[in-house]
Every structure is written in C-alpha cells, then in structure tokens.
Amino acid sequence: MARLHPPRRQVSGGALLKALGAVLLLGALGMLASTENALLAYRQAEQRHGGEVIDMAHQGGPRPGLYGYMVRVAGPIDVVAPPRDDDFNQSAATPVLVRHVEMFQWREVVVAGEAHYELDWVDRPVDSSHFTQPVGHVNPRRFPIAGRQFDSGQVDVGGFKLSSALLHALPGSVQMSPDPKALPPNLAASFSLHDGYLTTSEHPSTPRLGDLRVSWTMVPLQAVTVVARLKGDTLMPAEDAPDGKGYEVQVGDRSLVDIFPDLPVPPDGAMLRRVVAGLLAALGVLMLLWERRQHPSDLLLPVGLGALVLGAVGGVMWLGGGGRTGMHWFEIALLGLLLSAWPLWRRRSHDEG
C-alpha cells in the first residue's frame, strides 16, 4: 500500500514579505540602539567635565540658543585691548604681561655647616638679619618697585571672549623686549637697557649691592583650543563640573578626545547610521503593510510609522541623558505621527464614504 504523505504547506509571498519586513524593522532598531548607546556613553563622560560640548570651532562667534552650554572653540589668540604697564609705559599685544623685579643682594649658602656669601639677583627681599654672619652682608629691607601682572582688557578666541580665569590659563611665556625710549622721564634717568633688562646699574656688567633690574614676560600669541561654558559672548569655567575644573585650554587645534583622554571614542558616522536606520525602518514597515496599500498616499504611512517608532525609542533612550537630543527624537516621533495620520484619515474617510 502506498504511504500517504501530508500535503506540503506553501509559504505565500505575502508571509515572506512580512517576515523580511520584520527583520528589517528589528535591524533598524538594533542599529539605532547601538548608535545611541555609544553616544550616551560619550555624553555621560562629557558630564564629568561640565556637560555636552558643542563644537563651535571656526564658527566665527556665538549663536543664539547656546547660553549655558559647554563649547569647544579653536583659533589664534586675538588681543583686542592690550595690557599696559603705566609705571614704565610698556605695552605689548599679549593676553597677560608680567613685570619681574630683581635686586642684587647677598645670599647665604651653607655647605657642610659653613656659611658662604655671594651677591646675586633675587626676585624678593632677602632678610639678612637671619644670616649666620650678618655683618658685612646687610641687604636693603624692601624693593622700591614691585613686580606686577597686567591683564588685557579683552582677549578673543574664535570670536568668543575669554573670562579672567581662562585668560590666566593660556599657556606659555616668552620674554618681552622693553623699549627704553618709552620710559617716563623720572625712570629714564635711572634705568638703561642691558641684555633684555632695564637696570639701575651704572656698570651693568658689574652690578652693585642694591641695584635693580626689571624685565617682562608675556603669554605668546598662538593658536589654542578652549573648552568652557558659554555665557553671553564670554567663555568661563563650568563651576558645577564634577572634575572640579570645568574648562580646558591647550595649544593648537585639539579634538575633544585629545583634550579629555577619559572620553570614549564616539561612533563614526553616527548621523549616517541614524539615516540608514530610518530608511530600513520605513522599508520594513512598507513590507509589513504591502498587502494593505490602496492609494499612492499610503506610502507616507511606512515613512511616518518608521519615524514614529525610531523617534519614540530614541527619545526614551535619551531621557535623563541629554535633554536636547531627547527632545529632537521626540520631535521626529511627532513628525512621524503626523505623516501617519494623513493616509489613515484618508483611508477612513474613503471607507465611510
């Protein structure tokens, strides 16, 4: 007797299309989840240094809507209002000008319990009353002129003003060549230029006890990268940053990963991955609803539903992790809802008619 075999079930083309659509939709959600998880890890690491950092390098200055955000700017130091040492009538195009004053004084050097004395330039008064042998080694009690620091009235980087804290964080120091011709008359009679210094020594190569020499150092003009909080048009430290600093200033055009080594490397092409996820989601929904299409306007339905699903998932993932990004995802979800509503409304009107 011939054995009877059960009839084979044939899988319809519609079922295969729905299965493929489901796979594409799940793949889109997986791609979105992996991208947003990587970005969330990056954003959480940014929070340690003051919060989300918006790259404003080479943008030419502040834009509306950035108040309170951390920004990264890069460019050459632009001194708008140079500092001036009015006492000596010296000025330079620098963010910070520092006057150094030294006096030729006795110094005590103790070697193997025996005190030795030598004359040298020292930038502070040396109290000779505590010397082992003060007789013959008496220093003047005070400096007639003190060292001082002079800040620029305004310094910009990339079109952004720097606060005082960031001004003082600018790196580097170079010697300034003083201009003896600019000295006021009362000081021109006492000081002369020697080896980059203004000195009171009658014979600069052989100074005497109590002689003064004055020099200036300045922060060099160079390209820098600044990460700080933007308030108005001014960059300043983020006082609430968990790292206790809230800003960073480095020489050159440096990326955030270079500046903050603890930041994870952000995913490459995050925006492209999001777009691809959106296209896959729309195509997946289209395949799931292929048999229900009735009108060309129905093509808006898979686009809208794909945007609604991805926008809702992305918005939920960013809840508590980044208000601005989460808001953008929910805006995409709302747009998807509106795109979906039109074909559904048209279909309902058609059925009722």
DSSP string, 24-74: HHHHHHHHHHHHHHHHHHHHHHHHTTTSPEEE-TTS-S--TT-TT-EEEEE
Report yes or no: 101 and 212 within 8 Å, Cβ to Cβ.
Answer: yes
pLDDT at 77: 96
Report yes or no: 155 and 78 within 8 Å, Cβ to Cβ.
Answer: yes
pLDDT at 342: 67
pLDDT at 259: 84
Question: 198 burial class (0-12, 13-18, 19+ CB within 10 angstroms)?
Answer: buried
Residue of 160, 155, 99, 106 whose CA lies nearest to 133: 106
Amino acid in the structure at residue 66: L
pLDDT at 349: 56
pLDDT at 90: 97
pLDDT at 61: 79
pLDDT at 152: 96
CA distance 140 to 142: 6
Tokens for 91, please give them: 């000025």
Amino acid in the structure at residue 44: Q
Length in residues, the chain: 353
Residue of 183, 177, 245, 187 whose CA lies nearest to 215: 177
pTM for the complete prediction? 0.70
**Which neighbouring-strand residues pair with 148?**
99
pLDDT per residue, tens digit, the chain (353 aa), is 455 555 555 556 678 888 888 888 899 889 988 888 888 877 777 777 777 788 888 777 788 888 888 899 999 999 999 999 999 999 999 999 999 999 999 999 999 889 999 999 999 999 999 999 999 999 999 999 999 999 999 999 999 999 999 999 999 999 999 999 999 999 999 999 999 999 999 999 999 999 999 999 999 999 999 999 999 999 999 988 877 888 999 999 998 888 887 777 766 788 898 899 888 888 888 888 776 665 555 677 788 888 888 888 888 888 866 567 888 888 888 988 888 776 666 656 555 55
CA distance 10 to 14: 11
pLDDT at 321: 64
CA distance 213 to 225: 36
Q: Three-class SS string for 312-353? A: HHHHHHCCCCCHHHHHHHHHHHHHHHHHHHHHHHHHHHHHHC
**Strand pairing report for 212-218 and 96-111:** antiparallel
Displacement of CA 256 from its chain's centroid (Å): 7
Report yes or no: 199 and 187 within 8 Å, Cβ to Cβ.
Answer: no
CA distance 55 to 295: 45
Question: 253 burial class (0-12, 13-18, 19+ CB within 10 angstroms)?
Answer: middle
> Alpha carbon of 180 to those of 151, 192, 214: distances in Å?
22, 7, 11
pLDDT at 329: 87
pLDDT at 37: 84
What is the pLDDT of the chain when averaged over all its residues? 86
pLDDT at 297: 56
pLDDT at 4: 54
